[in-house]
Amino acid sequence: MESSIGVFDSGLGGVSVLREAIRVLPHERFIYYGDNRNAPYGDRTEAEITKLTLRCAHTLANQGVKAILIACNTATATCIERIRNELDVPVVSVEPAIKPACMQPGYGKILMMATRATTRLQRYLDLQARMPDPSRILNIPCPGLVERIEQGIFAENAFDDLLDTYLSAYHTMQIDGIVLGCTHYVFIRNAIRRYATMHFSGACKLFDGNEATAHQLARVLEEHNMASDAGEPGGVEFHTSGDPSRYRPIFDMLLRQPGI
Ligand code: DGL
């Protein structure tokens, strides 16, 4: 049997990237590993995030995967170079989609919502500095959102208190775009859109890096001659460091429910 592609995230968020990867690469097999027991990563130190991420990446590599998709912005910002150095397989990773967001016309701001770690780490700050007008991007750490999502909460009106805490300072501003800089946030895009429509002026277009990352994965597989033969049926296997009876049904639901 052809070998699989390993997909990693601290928890449920990476399923939003996996969904795109399956759409772009329907004949591939995927092994997803969520470190749900240790989520959220975003409030941890760099050393902790690196240790946890490397352990998970090696767990996937030990399963004989042919490539690894890091479906976690926090892990990318913290230690993508270490992962690439330590693993023998190609590694593709997601990053906050500030580049397409900055191409959005208008004179308003771009809000980049992400974990505490992503917004302070040098790799992300370097990416921001390469944008044509870095000051247009306002970085907003949003601790608490991932905890709630990990509890299986996705309702449109279930995040207003936290969104108020982090976004009320911008209520009077024109906001051209909002970057979902954490893969978990893609699952609450309706809550964020609803909040933005109520409180900001401007287009408030939402951006995430998932589709671009899935296409990058397809390119890397092609380059390495690793793409699955079209005849093979694809599939997904879910693994978690948390309680499987609690998380498996949520993984399945997130994969299959297009509305979320
Ligand atoms: N889903 C993750 C990200 O994209 C990490 C969330 C967390 O564990 O804090 O950043």
The letter for the amino acid at 80 is: I
250, two tokens: 């949520």
**Terminal-residue alpha carbon distance, the chain:** 33
**Res 258: pLDDT:** 62
**Global pTM value:** 0.97
| Domain edges within the chain | 5-94+210-256, 98-207
Ligand 1: which residues within 6 Å by Cβ?
9-11, 13, 39-42, 72-74, 115, 118, 146, 182-184
Q: Is the pLDDT of residue 127 over 70?
A: yes
Mean pLDDT, residues 81-97: 98
69, two tokens: 């998709």
Query: How far does residue 226's CA lie from ligand 1's centre (Å)?
Result: 28
Quickly name the fold that domain 5-94+210-256 has.
Answer: Rossmann fold (3.40.50)
Whether 142 is a known active-site residue: answer no
Rounded CA gap, 167 and 183, in Å? Answer: 19
Whether 102 is a known active-site residue: answer no
Query: Looking at ligand 1, which residue's alpha carbon is closest to its atom 2?
Result: 72
In this prediction, residue 260 has a pLDDT band, given cuts at 50, 70 and 90, of: low
88, two tokens: 């023998």
Mean pLDDT, residues 5-30: 97
**Res 230: pLDDT:** 66
CATH classification code of 98-207: 3.40.50.1860
**Res 46: pLDDT:** 98
Rounded CA gap, 241 and 25, in Å? Answer: 26
Single out the catalytic residue among 72, 79, 102, 142.
72
CB atoms closer than 10 angstroms to residue 221? 19
Q: Is the dihedral of CA 157, 164, 95, 6 positive or negative?
A: negative
Strands (E), the chain: 5-9, 29-34, 67-70, 91-93, 109-114, 137-141, 175-180, 205-207, 235-240
The atom of ligand 1 lying closest to the CA of 42 is: 9
**Intrachain domains 5-94+210-256 and 98-207 with the same fold:** yes
| Residues 138-171 pLDDT 10s | 999 999 999 999 999 999 999 999 999 999 999 9
The letter for the amino acid at 54 is: L
Mean pLDDT, residues 63-81: 98
**Res 23: pLDDT:** 95
**Res 49: pLDDT:** 98
**Concatenated DSSP letters of 110-161:** EEEEE-HHHHHSHHHHHHHHTSSSGGGEEEEE-TTHHHHHHTT---TTSSHH
Query: How far does residue 10's CA lie from ligand 1's centre (Å)?
Result: 6
Mean pLDDT, residues 199-205: 95
Instruction: Compute the mean pLDDT over every residue in the chain, rounded to the nearest whole number.
Output: 96
